[in-house]
């Protein structure tokens, strides 16, 4: 069974790793931890699968379009950007799935 929530220790470690800013746009406001590979798709709660996003990027990652950011990435581009960020960081051993 997959735990419902991340521990505070894991959340804080991900924020620290990403420099307390959104890994994609650099904003330090409204930070949230995002699963690059969703739990429902087998993604784990490990550092290899977690990325710091601001609330705006996190909303886009989950399919919400922001009219004021119409030229920003769509959901597919956001997913690809998250995966590339994590894969580059942990290369060549990137493995975001539950073990």
Closest of 76, 29, 19 to residue 51, by C-alpha: 19
In this prediction, residue 99 carries a pLDDT of 57
- Mean pLDDT, range 27-36, rounded to an integer: 96
Domain ranges of the chain: 8-90
32, pLDDT greater than 90: yes
Q: Residues 48, 54: contact at Cβ < 8 Å? A: no
Tokens of residue 38, six digits: 């969703």
85 cis-preceded (ω within 30 degrees of 0): no
pLDDT in tens, 39-65: 888 888 988 899 999 999 999 899 887
Between CA 83 and CA 58 the distance in angstroms is 14
Closest of 62, 52, 10 to residue 27, by C-alpha: 52
CA angle 19, 25, 26 (to 5 degrees): 30
Between CA 40 and CA 29 the distance in angstroms is 27
pTM across the whole model: 0.84
72, pLDDT greater than 70: yes
- Mean pLDDT, range 21-29, rounded to an integer: 95
């Amino acid at each position: 069974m997959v735990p419902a929530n991340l521990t505070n220790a894991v959340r804080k470690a991900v924020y620290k790793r990403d420099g307390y800013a959104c890994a994609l746009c650099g904003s330090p406001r409204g930070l949230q931890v995002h699963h690059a590979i969703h739990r429902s798709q087998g993604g784990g709660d490990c550092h290899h699968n977690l990325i710091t996003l601001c609330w705006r990027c996190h909303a886009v990652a989950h399919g919400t379009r922001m009219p004021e950011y119409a030229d920003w990435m769509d959901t597919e581009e956001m997913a690809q950007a998250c995966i590339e960020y994590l894969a580059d960081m942990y290369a060549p051993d990137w493995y975001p799935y539950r073990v």
